[in-house]
Amino acid sequence: MERISLLELLGLSSAIVALLLWVLQGRKTLRKDSVALLTGLVLLTILLNLVRADYAEWLTNLLEEPLSSYLDILQRILWGVCVYSFVQSAVGRQFSLTRKQSEALLSHLGQRVYFKNPNLVYVTVNPAFATNLGLTPEQIIGKTDSDIYPSQLARQYRAEDEGIIEKGESVSYEKHVDANGDKRIVRVSKIPVPGEQGQLEGLLGIVTDITEQAQAERASAHLAAIVQASDDAIIGTSTEGIITSWNQGARYTYGYDAEDFIGRSLSDLVPPVSREKLQQTLRQVAGGSRFRQYETLSINANGQQRNIAMTLSPVYDQSDQVTGISVIGRDITEQVRLRDELRLLSLIDPLTKLHNRRGFYLLGEQQLKVTHRTQNYALLIFADLDNMKRINDTLGHQTGDQALLDTAQALRITFRESDIIGRLGGDEFAILALDTVPGDREELVERLQETLEEKNDLNDRPYKLSLSIGCVRYDPGQPQLLDELLAEADALMYEDKRRKSNTRRGDART
């Protein structure tokens, strides 16, 4: 049978009394005397293990369990209470430190912060809030809105605050204010603050000036709207050329939706033969270079080939590091077509549609370089339409134009498409026949004369087509300039014309 001593009973009784006082006094006693209580618990534990009283038999019988079982349970409870007291004390000290830090932080905070009690009396305000009103914190604390603001505005604020307190829900909104003639935008946040027991402690208010942020957001939204509305393709990529953004203009230009191409490479928009060049350009842009009017071909979603002019620019972050690439693409297919037509018009004779002098010189000089490089022969023929002045004077310029058209057609019939045929002006024509052999001179001249005779026989015209011709051979072993060849051929052509003239005069005498 277990026994318990009087000392053990006294220690146990004092612990129980301390526990009751802690509960009744809101834990203040235990918090202040936790060290003393812990010492008592240690002594109690030692006594319980060393002393057993014989007169505890009646308690054991009363409790129907060994007394030590109940004592062990009580020990655990008291130890738990002691540990909880220490934790609470530590948290309280930490809370006090954090509060001091918070007060220091609020005093330097740019946002306007205030706290009202449940009666909507200002309890705390930071300097920013007071300064905005032209007051000091001391002039605001202890007062209500009606003491600070005009009556109408004060009633508005009070009604708003009472609604928040009644519902217990936070609100946040933006409004425009006039700060000494300066239009500003602020965000107001009002938060009901509950106490430890669930009761309302008061109302926390935070006012943030977001004018610059709102302006930046509006400017960004405006810019985004412009980008989306643009007919030009505006594409954002990473520094490696991976597409990250795709506007409606890109959809119109290429025929693909954003989800079709975001995440793919920009080089997928150009034919395979152009991809390496575009990748090299992208690497240069990622290094800080900028390219304007970079022209390339593209195949759109319908399989059509389009001409695209791109402007590629590096995109920098705040530390001046290139973080991406901006690509603005414009479909210039129609402009390229018109440009080619204009260029063609500048090289083509408008009447005969043969090359004009400029076109003949440009293509002829290029082809002579190729001929010299490949060591092939060529034949330059200079031809002049006979009796052109008489046709114009007696039959009119319209008939003269028809004679020129008939001559141009005869030249096309006689020579190959690879040969260069031009009208140098007036009634003069030139032909650069390529890849010829020594016997081709007589053959080509004869073939041309046959073509002219056939046209004269088939067509009932008031004139006969006749050409005076001079022929010069280009030898790659003794290269000459095109001007030199034309000068020699022109001289030979005039010899042919004089010979014909002499022949006609001789025939007339006989």
Residue-level pLDDT at 487: 95
What's the mean pLDDT in 348-366? 92
Structure confidence at residue 394 as a pLDDT band (50, 70, 90): very high
Residue-range domain boundaries for the chain: 6-103, 109-214, 230-336, 348-509
Tokens of 494: 């005039």
Residue pair 311/294 in contact (Cβ under 8 Å)? The answer is: yes
pLDDT in tens, 9-28: 555 555 555 555 555 444 44
Task: Answer yes or no: same fold for 109-214 and 230-336.
Answer: yes
Share in percent of the chain as helix, strand, coil (round to 5): 55, 25, 25
* Residue-level length of the chain: 510
pLDDT above 90 covers a percentage of the chain that reads: 48
Q: How many of the other CB atoms lie within 10 Å of CB of 462?
A: 9
Residue-level pLDDT at 14: 57
CATH code for the structural domain at 230-336: 3.30.450.20
pLDDT in tens, 471-486: 999 998 899 999 999 9
Residue pair 375/478 in contact (Cβ under 8 Å)? The answer is: no
Query: To 10 degrees, the CA torsion angle through 84, 89, 95, 98?
Result: -120
* SS3 label, residue 303: coil
pTM over 0.75: no
For the chain, the straight-line distance linking the first and the last C-alpha, in angstroms and rounded, comes to 174
Give the span between the Cα atoms of 38 and 85, in whole angstroms.
10
**Amino acid (one-letter) located at 23:** V
Most confident range (mean pLDDT) of 30-34, 99-103, 477-481 is 477-481
Residue-level pLDDT at 93: 46
* SS3 label, residue 377: strand
Structure confidence at residue 224 as a pLDDT band (50, 70, 90): confident
Give the span between the Cα atoms of 68 and 10, in whole angstroms.
16
Cα angle 437, 438, 443; round to 5: 85
Instruction: Determine whether 298 is exposed, middle or buried from the number of CB atoms within 10 Å of its CB (0-12, 13-18, 19+).
Output: buried
10 vs 348, residue with greater confidence: 348
Read off the DSSP letter of residue 231.
S
The separation between CA 89 and the C-alpha centre of its own chain, rounded to angstroms, equals 56
Structure confidence at residue 465 as a pLDDT band (50, 70, 90): very high
Lowest mean pLDDT among 373-377, 449-453, 499-503: 499-503
Pairing state of beta strands 200-209 and 305-316? unpaired
pLDDT in tens, 44-74: 555 555 444 444 454 445 444 455 555 555 5
Structure confidence at residue 407 as a pLDDT band (50, 70, 90): very high
Q: Say which CATH class 109-214 falls into.
A: alpha beta
Structure confidence at residue 256 as a pLDDT band (50, 70, 90): very high
Residue-level pLDDT at 230: 86
pLDDT in tens, 268-325: 999 998 899 999 999 999 999 999 888 899 988 888 889 999 999 999 998 999 999 9
pLDDT in tens, 112-158: 999 999 999 999 999 999 988 899 999 999 999 999 999 999 999 99
* SS3 label, residue 6: helix
| Statement: residue 190 has pLDDT above 90 | yes
Q: How many of the other CB atoms lie within 10 Å of CB of 483?
A: 11
Tokens of 26: 């809101």
CATH code for the structural domain at 348-509: 3.30.70.270
